[in-house]
Structures are given as structure tokens and as C-alpha cells.
Structure 1
Amino acid sequence: MKPKEKAANYKPAEDREKDLRLALLRIQKGRAKTGETKVTIAAVAREASVSKALIHNYYPSIAEAIRQVQGRSSRAMRDVKHQDLLAERKKSAGYRHEIEELRAKVSNLASINEVLLEDNRVLKAKLDDLKVVQLASKKPQG
């Protein structure tokens, strides 16, 4: 490639950013030269005749604008994740409280069970100590 041809591919950053914004606008309005209909970073890159990496690496504001059009801007995604985290923390606190209550109930039931087992042992011992005598029944005469 000749030096003059190589230089022709490079544009000042402001011009390239303008091209990218126009490409995004054309896709949004349904007037894309490439026939793109869905707004994605790849579609904007194709429409502006640049690589996706160029947008990601050198034009993060364009990438963010594309994400906003898609409804998934980094700020919105962060806010949604934060709300999800708060909801999960609340559920977790509820579960911890429930676990504490259940442990207290289990402890109480174990104590009652031990008392009943001891009562059972005592009653069995008393039963063994008793001498049960069976009286012979008299048959009525008659």
C-alpha cells in the first residue's frame, strides 16, 4: 500500500466520531446504506465502515450511546443490578431470621423430647418394679 493511500483511510477523531453518530442515526431512522435495521455496535461499525474494536477501544461514548438506544446502558444495567442486590440482601436477611427461629424451635423440641424420654424411662422402671398379681376369678355358681 502506498503511503498516500494509507493516509487516506485515517480520519481525525472528531470526523470519525461524527461519522459514527451519523451511522447510528441512519440506522435508527431506517435509512442505513448497508440495510441495517437493528441498532448494535456491529451494525454501526458496518454502517460507518470501521471495526467494532475501534468503537469499543476509541469511542466509548458512541458505544454507550448505542447501549442506551438498546435500553441497556451501563448506568441502567448497574442500577438494575444494584436493585437486584438489595432485594437479594433483604431476602437473605429474612432467611437468616427464619433460620434463627427454626433453630430455637428445634432446641426447644429437643429439650421436650429429652424430658419425655426420661419420663418414659422412669415409668418403665416403675412398671418393672411392680409385681402384678393376677387374681383368679371365681366362677359364679349357679
Structure 2
Amino acid sequence: MKSKGKAANYKPAEDRKKDLRLAISRIEHGRANTKEAKLTIAAVAREAGVSTALIHNHYPAIAETIREKQGRSSRAMRDVKHQDLSAERQKSAGYRQEIDELKAKLASIASINEVLLEENRVLKAKLKDRSVVELVSSQPRR
């Protein structure tokens, strides 16, 4: 007499892996016993008669195969994110360089502005000095 419970559902890992691959194939070819039409981890689990947790925890390669077939491979997604991150880092480096250049230009302009303000103060002081006479042209303006 067979015992019920965990031991009754036990299958060797290779047999379970074969069952999962067959379930994937049946779903892909539209011959699923459970009438699953879309390939997902949950659909494969239902078709193979196991839990999704079993696939995630004990058969990560099968889970990755399913994701790849869905176009959501974690490796592919990671690579895309890595490329995006690299592109953003390059942009950021360019922006930092531009900021540094603008800060240098701003410092130069501020320095020139200070010189001009000082020259303006000197000229205003000379204009107020009574010994300085403003020259007016004797020729009529045209």
C-alpha cells in the first residue's frame, strides 16, 4: 500500500525536469492538457501538476527558460539595464564636465564684472571731483 502525503508526490529531479520540459512543449504547441494557451511559470506549473514555488526554488533553469521564451530573460533584462546605466553614466560625466566649464566661465565673468565695477566707481569719483571739467564739444552735433 502506498503512503499518502509528500512521499507519494516525490519524483526524482530528472523525471520532474522532464515533466516540466514536456509541459512547456505542450503549451507552446497548443496541446496542453489544462488548455493553457500562454506560456508562463504558473501555466507550466499547472500543466506539470506542481507549484510555481517548486519551479522557482528547485528548477531555476526551467524558470529562466520560460522567461527567455517570454522575452523576459533575467539575463537579458540585466544586460539591458547595465547598458542603460552605462549610457546614463556617460551622460552624467558629460554633464559634470559641462558644469565645471560653466563654473569656470562664471568665475571669469564675475572677475571681469568686479574689475568693471571698480573702474565705474573710480570714474564716478573723478566725475564728482571739482577739479575735473567735463569737456563739451564746440562743434554742433549733426
Q: TM-score with structure 2 length normalisation? A: 0.85
1:110, 1:34 → 2: CA distance?
A: 76
- Range that drifts further, 42-51 or 122-131: 122-131
2:112, 2:74 → 1: CA distance?
A: 56
Unaligned runs of 5+ in 1: 134-142
Q: TM-score with structure 1 length normalisation? A: 0.85
Answer yes or no: is the 8 Å Cα contact 2:27–2:44 preserved in 1.
yes
Runs (4+) off by over 4 Å: none
Partner of 1:42: 42
Answer yes or no: is the 8 Å Cα contact 2:126–2:132 preserved in 1.
no
SS in structure 2 of the partner of residue 39 of structure 1: coil
- Structure 2: which amino acid aligns with 1:5? K
Q: Deviations over 1:110-134 (max 9, x none)?
A: 011101110111111112113689x
Q: Deviations over 1:64-87 (max 9, x none)?
A: 100110112222122212211211
Aligned-residue RMSD, C-alpha? 1.9
Partner of 2:73: 73
The sequence identity of aligned pairs, in percent, is 74
- Structure 2: which amino acid aligns with 1:63? A
Unaligned runs of 5+ in 2: 134-142
- Structure 1: which amino acid aligns with 2:119? D
